[in-house]
Amino acid sequence: MELYLFRHGEIEDKNKFIGHTDSELTIKGKKQNLFTKIKIQKIKVDAVFSSNLKRTFIDNAVNVKNINEINFGLWEGLSWYEIEEQFPKLVKNYLNNPLSFHFPNGENFDDFKIRVLYFINNLKENNYKKVALITHKGVIQLLLNHFQNKDFWDIKISYGEMIKLNLHF
């Protein structure tokens, strides 16, 4: 299956931890989402899915909670500076082992991974050949890490960018 991974357009709160919180798109972000829609039409995919957060919405996409960004819990909507001020002990734990960290009142990485991979595994049951996902940076990093063994933190993906992933189940 060809999986076309699109990161949503630029958001207003781009310097904050925004996971399950909805953030408005900038003017540039709205244009990026429009270009995403056009790219998807040209690819002629079998199905289009987006997370259920409005920054990923495009016409004809099925909104799915399983491909939402990780839930940052109490860190949602805060800048790194604010997090360091309010949660100094937790910041040390996060920096020592970010992929094992459980965000306060949020998710840990393992739960996030299980949620996203459950959705991906269900795609294969529908025998899709080409699928587009409009989703988030963390989801795309997770998928590239899992399926291509890329280092999670080395994966860079800009707002509005697309990455094609070939999956062989």
Domain boundaries, the chain: 2-166
> How far apart, in whole angstroms, are the C-alpha atoms of residue 91 and residue 84?
6
**DSSP for residue 134:** E
Fold classified for 2-166? Rossmann fold (3.40.50)
* The pLDDT of residue 83: 98
pLDDT of res. 60: 85
- The pLDDT score that the predictor gives to residue 169 is 77
| Residue partners of 44: CB distance under 8 A and separation at least 6 | 130
Give the Cβ contact number of residue 140 at 10 Å: 22
Say what the pLDDT of residue 115 is: 97
Indicate yes or no: pTM above 0.75.
yes
> Roughly what angle, to the nearest 10 degrees, separates helices 137-148 and 109-123?
70
16-46 burial: b if 16+ Cβ within 10 Å, else e: bbbbbbebebbeebeebbeebbeebeeeebe
Tell me how crowded residue 12 is: count the other CB atoms within 10 A of its CB. Answer: 13
Q: What is the pLDDT of residue 124?
A: 87
Q: What are 131's two structure tokens?
A: 């699928």
pLDDT tens digits, 51-99: 999 999 988 899 999 999 999 999 999 999 999 999 999 999 999 999 9
Q: Which amino acid makes up residue 92?
A: K
Positions of the chain with pLDDT lower than 50, given as ranges = none
Please state, in angstroms and rounded to a whole number, the distance separating the CA atoms of residues 161 and 35: 10
Strand ranges in the chain using DSSP code E only, listed in sequence order? 2-7, 47-50, 62-63, 130-135, 162-166
Cβ atoms 144, 15 nearer than 8 A = no
Can you give the pLDDT at residue 5?
98
